[in-house]
Amino acid sequence: MVAALALRSGGIASGATSRLKGVWNHLRGVQTLAETRGGLPNYYVLPSGDKIPSVALGCWRAREGEVGNAVKTALKAGYRHIDGAWAYENEAEVGAAIKESGIPREEIFITSKLWNSYHYPEDVAPILEDSLQKLGVDYIDLYLIHFPVAFKKERTPEGKPVADLELTENTYATWQAMEKLVDSGKVRNIGVSNFNIRRLTNLTSNPLKYQPAVNQVELSFGNPQPELLAWSKKNGILLEAYSPLGSTEQVKQTLQIPEVVAIANELGITPAQVLISWHVQRGTVVLPKSVTPSRVEQNFQIFKLPQDKFDALEKAAVSHPPKRVVDPSGAWGVNIYEDQ
């Protein structure tokens, strides 16, 4: 029974019986999640059968000396999903905080990401090992291709990255290396980040062993991406919303949007809670980031918005020209999102 569950989850290679105990512990841990919270989904079920909590602590831009306390605060408040990445340069502190929390590893859903410099197939497994070592864990719950951009090994004389346009356009070789990580048992689920519909269609037109479970993208009131959301639901790919409050550059303005403030006042919750709840109610995982303890705790509290309020917020979000905050296309010489 244990072996069958493990193999079905896509996280254990055939014959890797030494990991079965850990997988069983993982399954026991995730089963403790309540199905709903505040009237909204507390988790979504991935194709592997794993449960991914609907609200995560985002660790992007969380500085050294701050991110560890934020992680411990989040776990104490009830978070069971930590979203990180090798490129954030804080995985060691995140891992130490998880260990210090005393919460069993199998009860925490950990995400990391493959950086652009390591898309060549021979580089994928070694850089995963670096993340595992820093985090102090022996498996990652979700591993994402961070951007649909592959860097060449050599840089410009000024030290700037150079895109490998062929591997950037066709990520299949990188994906096959990701699939091997699942078979190894060191990664349970794989997905992508910052992919648009065309890039996802291009990837999934190949004979994949494992389909992308998740696409993590910028989603906010300012950049709601309704077409991508609808396409993803139709094609069984779960969207995750990073910068859900508009990122550092836009968060102040976002929390002052009249429609958001009006709903917050009527329901007696914060504007941030309105927006985070809206994201979950749209059917996405949401990744609010903060290192302020009170905000970390508040951001975890979600509430199902009355349908008329949800519809009004959705209508307001899609009625203005979208404004993307995160776009390194110019620096990397690749039109990543192809929406301009």
CA-to-CA separations, 244 to 64, 71, 201, in angstroms, rounded: 22, 18, 25
Any bridge partners for residue 163, and if so which?
Answer: 151
Sheet with 187-193: list strands edge to edge.
57-58, 81-83, 109-114, 140-145, 187-193, 214-218, 238-242, 285-287
Cβ atoms of 127 and 118 within 8 Å: the answer is yes
Q: Which of 141, 7, 167, 3 is nearest to 81 (CA)?
A: 141
Instruction: Return the residue matching tokens 């979504």.
Output: 44
Apex 135 CA angle, 130 and 139, nearest 5: 80
88 included as an active-site residue: yes
How many residues are listed for the chain in this entry? 340
Q: Which of 142, 21, 134, 30 is nearest to 82 (CA)?
A: 142
Any bridge partners for residue 85, and if so which?
Answer: none
Residues 6 or more apart whose Cβ sits within 8 Å of residue 166: none
Neighbouring C-beta atoms of residue 245, cutoff 10 Å: 26
Tell me how far apart the alpha carbons of residues 1 and 274 are, in angstroms, rounded to a whole number.
42
Strands 238-242 and 285-287, how do they pair?
parallel
CA 9 from chain centre, in angstroms, equals: 19
How is residue 320 annotated by DSSP?
S
CA-to-CA separations, 49 to 3, 12, 114, 325, in angstroms, rounded: 14, 13, 23, 33
Active-site position among 88, 139, 143, 337: 88
Catalytic residues: 88
